[in-house]
Amino acid sequence: MLIDFFLHLKARKLPVSTREFLTVLEGLRDHVCGPSLDDFYYYARLCLVKDESLYDRFDQAFGEYFKGVTALPGLEADLPEDWLRAMARKHLSPEERAKLEKLGWDKLMEEF
C-alpha cells in the first residue's frame, strides 16, 4: 500500500528519496508513530518533506491519496497485558510505577 503512496508523491513532483521512504517504513515497523492517519501524516511529513515550501504540495498529495481513510490498516496491535506490565516495570521509574499503581492498571487500560 505505501509504495503506491511513495509513487504518488513522486508523481506530484515532491522530491522524496528512496532512503526517506525507507525511513518512514522503518519507523512504522518500530512503532514510532501511532496508528491514526493523523499520526502517520505528521510522521511522513517529518521524514519526507525537506523544505517548508513543499508542505502545501505534500498536504494536497496526502489528501488525494488517503481521501476517506481514517486509519492505516495493520498498525493496531493487541498487546498482551503481561507484556505491557513487564515493559512498565522495566522502563518506569519507581515514582512513575507508584503513580501507575495509584491509578490502577484497569483504569489505565481503559484510558488507552
According to DSSP, the residues that pair with 71 across neighbouring strands are 36
46-57 in b/e form (b: 16+ CB < 10 A) is ebbbeeeebeeb
Residue 94: band (very low, low, confident or very high) from pLDDT cuts 50, 70, 90: confident
**pTM for the model:** 0.59
The whole-number pLDDT of residue 77 equals 58
Least confident of 19-28, 40-49, 66-75: 66-75
The whole-number pLDDT of residue 27 equals 94
Per the CB < 8 A criterion, the answer to whether 48 and 18 are in contact is no
According to DSSP, the residues that pair with 36 across neighbouring strands are 71
